[in-house]
Amino acid sequence: MHKMNNKRLDLNLLTVLDAVARRGSVSDAARELHLSQPAVSHALGRLRNLTKDRLFVRSGNRLVPTSRTLAMINPVRSLLQQAAVMLAPEQFDPQASKRSFRIAASDYPLLSIVPGFSARLRREAPGVKLALQPANPENLADLSAGNLDASFWTGGPPGEGWSLTPLLDETLIGVCGPDHPFAGGQEIGIETWVAQSHAIVAYGSMSHNPINRALAALGISEQITLISPSYSGAMAALAPARLIMALPRRLLPIAKTFRLAAFPLPVEIPSFPYGLLRHRRTLEDPGLDWLTNLLVTHVQQEIW
């Protein structure tokens, strides 16, 4: 049996074979495929050369398939259907999807955004899972390598090759335990504030903390007693250790569960943006696009 050279075969030739077999006419097949008759005839010539078979013979005014074509046509049609499915644009059906989205998150979004968003996600995509991972200095490398789908992110994009979807702008307020002198909520001077023992939250480098950046611009620094990787851990320590800290305002409801009191900061701290960071190669991922859009909608409707 003659062995076909698969390296010279392309799907366009098989598409022509299928059309001619169904239509029984080169001209009719050409119209269906939006090709010229010479182009269809040329494709048939290439197939005849590959298969060493005439493929079609004339019977009256129609072309009828040879036995070789009849043996090939069903596998050819199956192959064309598989190729159409494989090459079709990816679709995402939230009601049917079982996808797991891997997202890095500090406890700020875990406390302020994720609870309500998880409930919304369960309603709109009951089979979808949020696989949350801790925020850490390796997140960018994991996003680049495809080990993460996205990361909650503070500040601007880290450089080229990244896409940052804005979610909200956050501001800071001071908090302390109920027995601290600042618990009355009165205005305090910057010298008095700096002299207190502070807790801060930092992920990796402290330079990411907006308080440190603002104080550095003024040429001063606070007395740091506790560096915590989480706001919840820092808040739990404030009252027992008589510490103070600057807290994102959207976490004030959580602070109240620790019986913390709020007070105005003596320095102006610029608001800082918060968003969802993705690698640019994921921008054609319909599932991740859907999740990002749902997150934006949730934040706009429920968090702002």
pLDDT of residue 205: 56
Residues 134 and 103: their CA atoms lie apart, in Å, by: 9
Whether residues 199 and 228 fall in one domain: yes
67, part of any domain: yes
Stretch 12-31: mean pLDDT: 93
92, part of any domain: no
Instruction: With beta carbons less than 8 A apart as the criterion, state whether 244 and 237 touch.
Output: no
244, part of any domain: yes
Q: Could you tell me which residues come within 8 angstroms of residue 300 by beta carbon, excluding any fewer than 6 positions away?
A: none
Whether residues 215 and 280 fall in one domain: no
More confident residue, 104 or 213: 104
Residues 139 and 105: their CA atoms lie apart, in Å, by: 10
Whether residues 158 and 185 fall in one domain: no
Q: 87-91, 173-177, 237-241, 291-295: lowest mean pLDDT where?
A: 87-91
Whether residues 63 and 38 fall in one domain: yes
Instruction: With beta carbons less than 8 A apart as the criterion, state whether 213 and 154 touch.
Output: no
Tokens representing 127 are: 């089979």
pLDDT of residue 113: 96
95, part of any domain: no
Whether residues 12 and 83 fall in one domain: yes
Residue 102 phi, psi dihedral angles, 5° rounding? -95, 115
Instruction: With beta carbons less than 8 A apart as the criterion, state whether 275 and 165 touch.
Output: yes
Whether residues 27 and 147 fall in one domain: no
More confident residue, 83 or 247: 247
Stretch 8-17: mean pLDDT: 84
Whether residues 63 and 77 fall in one domain: yes
Whether residues 176 and 165 fall in one domain: no
Instruction: With beta carbons less than 8 A apart as the criterion, state whether 174 and 263 touch.
Output: yes
Residue 78 phi, psi dihedral angles, 5° rounding? -65, -40
78, part of any domain: yes
Whether residues 178 and 262 fall in one domain: yes
Q: Is the pTM of this model over 0.85?
A: no
Whether residues 285 and 225 fall in one domain: no
Whether residues 185 and 240 fall in one domain: yes
Q: Can you give the residue range of the structural domain that contains 214? A: 172-269
pLDDT of residue 50: 92
Instruction: With beta carbons less than 8 A apart as the criterion, state whether 276 and 167 touch.
Output: yes
Number of domains within the chain:
3
